[in-house]
Amino acid sequence: MVDLKKISAMKLVCAIVSFANAIACISICGSDALRATTGVPEDVIKEYDNGLQLAKDLCEFIGISKTNTVTKRETKQLKDTVVYWDCDDVLQKNIDPSLMGNKIWSFLKDEGADARKTTIWDSPKDIVEKSILGLTQHLKRCDIPQFVVTQCTSDPTTQLMRESILEKLGYSFKDNILENDETFQERCNQIKINCQLSLKPGQTIITLPRFSKGIAYAGSVPKEAVFEWLLDLIQSSGKFRDIADITFVFTDDKLANLKEFCNVCQKRGIKKYRAYHYTNVLKRSNSEAPTDKTIENLQKSSIRNGKFLSYKDACLMPKFFPSTKLNWPL
């Protein structure tokens, strides 16, 4: 007589095994499926949370030594290389714990434009890692064109803020081959006019992309469109050969932006490009203890009145915390 219980148990075991195999197949093939969807090769996007390792890989990829000296042969080989940098959490970071990494977006979510400007302008900044600053300086000595691509609007206040902070931290992108061209502004304006024609409801001139002193301001335009825009500027400059033969490198802390960069490179037939997912600030801020909501609310109240109050100073205010002194997270 057939034991129905044993058959049911065997069916259950087979079902579990089949399910496990399916999960294993997904885990193995998932990244391949993603690459098939995005078209991004496996070795194009590299992730680093250490600036020294990123610098080593970047130098090896574009074919230069990691030392301060560059031979004439290397300089000639590097003529057709362009390096893009994201700004926040790559070149610079907020050192206030309420604003580090992705926390800044939740902190500013319900704040007005003036409060946002006060926070971004007055909050203390620092370089993310000395090795990243050193790498930009080394690339500059090698005469490699470098540009910053930031999602900021292009209003004069924001431009001044970005330029002054980066310069104060030791970065310099203003001496670049694109703007050392008398036809640059004309070409830039023409591309901007083309963008204006495609303005959507709610968008204004300051939300359009703008390029000034080596910094591309994306505004409300996706970075993918800005990369297209920059490629048009580079191609029309007459200072490079075919853009398909230029080596492009981009470093950002957001993976989505890197995929957009790769999509543009593929679309425009770029033969050699690499994207670096730099996660130093993101990983460190996620590993830290959560900030105190009372302190954050006190900070928000201060910025609404036009003054930024640091987390550290707020912790030390006896007026609000007479019985205890909160510890400053080191």
Give the three-class secondary structure for 186. helix
At 5 the pLDDT is 44
C-alpha to C-alpha distances, 148 to 68, 172, 205, nearest whole angstrom:
22, 10, 20
Q: How many helices (H) and strands (E) does the chain have?
A: 13, 9
Instruction: Give CA angle at 306 (302, 309), nearest 5°.
Output: 40
Distance of CA 308 to the CA centre of its chain: 24
Domain for residue 239, yes or no?
yes
At 248 the pLDDT is 95
At 24 the pLDDT is 34
Domain for residue 313, yes or no?
no
Can you give the residue range of the structural domain that contains 172? Answer: 39-91+128-287
d(CA 297, CA 33): 44
For helices 255-267 and 4-38, angle between their N-to-C axes, nearest 10 degrees: 60
d(CA 20, CA 18): 5
* Exposure class string for 42-76: b at 16+ Cβ within 10 A, else e: eebbbebbebeebbeebbebbebeeeeebeeeeee
**Number of folded domains in the chain?**
1
Judging by beta carbons within 10 Å of its beta carbon (0-12, 13-18, 19+), is residue 29 exposed, middle or buried? exposed
Domain for residue 118, yes or no?
no
At 248, phi and psi to the nearest 5?
A: -115, 140
At 14 the pLDDT is 44
Domain for residue 18, yes or no?
no
Quick check: 192 and 184 in contact, CB under 8 A? no
Domain for residue 324, yes or no?
no
Instruction: Give CA angle at 50 (107, 256), nearest 5°.
Output: 55
d(CA 137, CA 197): 38
| Token output for 164 | 């002054």
d(CA 142, CA 61): 15
At 205 the pLDDT is 57
Torsion region of 215: left, alpha or beta (phi above 0 gives left; psi -120 to 50 gives alpha): beta
For the entire predicted model, the pTM comes to 0.78
d(CA 158, CA 155): 6
At 230 the pLDDT is 87
Domain for residue 266, yes or no?
yes
Instruction: Per residue of the chain (330 residues), give pLDDT as tens.
Output: 444 444 444 444 344 334 333 333 333 333 343 344 446 676 899 999 999 999 999 999 998 877 655 555 555 555 689 999 999 999 999 988 888 877 887 888 888 878 887 887 888 899 999 999 999 999 988 888 899 999 877 677 778 888 899 999 999 998 776 766 666 666 666 655 555 555 566 656 556 777 888 888 887 778 888 898 888 888 877 777 788 989 999 999 999 999 999 999 999 999 999 999 999 998 887 777 677 888 888 888 888 888 888 888 888 876 555 444 444 443
Element (H, E) at 84: strand 81-85
At 83, phi and psi to the nearest 5?
A: -120, 125
Look up tokens 């230029």; give the residue: 246
Domain for residue 165, yes or no?
yes
Domain for residue 178, yes or no?
yes
